[in-house]
Amino acid sequence: MDLSGARWRTATRSGNTDCVEVADNLPGIVLVRDSKDRDGATLHVTPSSWRSFVALAKQLRPVA
């Protein structure tokens, strides 16, 4: 699979720490990586799995 067209952005829930980047512009796959180690491992998940994860993260976010 050619991942060279991935457009990376800082994940919304990373806040000011810039620790997680997401590329969700490729068909059928969402990529997740550590912004401090861009050449390191990249997590590949399905779009539906990513949506489920984000929905759970929204439910579990700390209350300010």
Q: How many domains does the chain have?
A: 1
- The share of the chain scoring above pLDDT 90, in percent, equals 48
Mean of pLDDT values over 12-23: 74
Which residues on neighbouring strands pair with residue 43, listed in sequence order?
Answer: 32
**What range does the domain containing 38 cover?**
9-60
E-strand stretches of 1-64 = 9-10, 20-23, 30-34, 42-45
The residue with greater pLDDT, 26 or 15, is: 26
- Phi, psi at 49, each rounded to 5°: -65, -40
Whether the full predicted model's pTM is greater than 0.85, yes or no, is: no
